[in-house]
Amino acid sequence: MPPTIDLDLIKTFLTVVDRKGFKPAAEQLHRTPAAISQKIKRLEDLLGKKVLERSNQGISLTAAGQILKIKGEKMLSLNYELLGDLRENELAGGLKFGAPADYAPTLLQTLLPIFAREFPKVSPSITLEPSRAVRRKVQMGQLDMAIVAREPDTNEGIDLWSEEIAWFGSPLADKDSLRAGVLLTDCVLRDHALGSLRDGAKAHQIVLEAATVAALKDAVVSGFCQSLLPVSMMRNSRERELRLSNSLSMLTFCLISGSRFDEETSSKVASKFRDALQ
């Protein structure tokens, strides 16, 4: 009888390809890089062909790996579709979903595959706007479900993740006033920044109001101003060296739902999102 391929090996291979490396794949799958490497070796031994080439520049697909990627994606998709067909009370149908626009690249790359994998009967449509705009649309029934930045002193929604925010920019001399950049949009991060400026001892002037966090970050990196930013967005060492303060506060992001979904369904979706975002 011909051998069968363990779908877990396929999933591991596709994760390595998607995350462009063994270490980031290990982090997503909550395994060690060595365990991921062993699984890829088992897969290659089973197939009798190399599927990945490793070099100082990263990984690349061999000819066999390119075939495996196409066929493997179909195998996993069919697996999830079969599970969805046989599960009772499976989330299905159109889903109007909202998320903060500033986190669009990360969320879309991470969360859209979850709908296809975990909820194959769902057909999502996505709205990207500031959290407060998204929240209003959920409350008005225009969106079914959304990720939002939680308002201070509330316990809304189901926790997904939290992150630090801190001031970044070129160091200031004692006599210098702070040249502040803040978000133009009505949001929690703008409130934190204005509150920090109001309560701080240092003189300041607002020299930039930007529509996106990315624009604030660019202005900070260029030396134009100082801004309150999510620490996670300052990714490389040069950007992290621009940090001017300890963590000022935390932003917590949560999943909220409209009346269409009960707490059990929302908790299930939130659990899948948390696993993917860790």
Question: Which residues does 266 contact at the CB level (< 8 Å), separation at least 6?
Answer: 145, 158, 255, 257
Region 60-73 average pLDDT: 90
pLDDT band at 175 (very low <50, low <70, confident <90, very high): low
Give the class (CATH, top level) of 7-86: mainly alpha
The pairing of strands 204-210 and 93-100 is unpaired
Q: What is the mean pLDDT of residues 56-80?
A: 85
Angle formed at CA 233 by CA 107 and CA 97, multiple of 5 degrees: 20
Architecture of domain 93-160+253-277: 3-Layer(aba) Sandwich (3.40)
Give pLDDT, residue 234.
82
DSSP state of 138: H
Over residues 214-237, the mean pLDDT reads 88
Q: Which residue intervals of the chain bear CATH 1.10.10.10?
A: 7-86
What is the fold of 163-252?
A: D-Maltodextrin-Binding Protein; domain 2 (3.40.190)
pLDDT, tens digit (0-9, with 9 covering 90-100), for 98-136:
999 888 877 777 777 777 777 777 888 899 999 999 999
User: Range(s) for CATH 3.40.190.10 in the chain?
Assistant: 93-160+253-277, 163-252
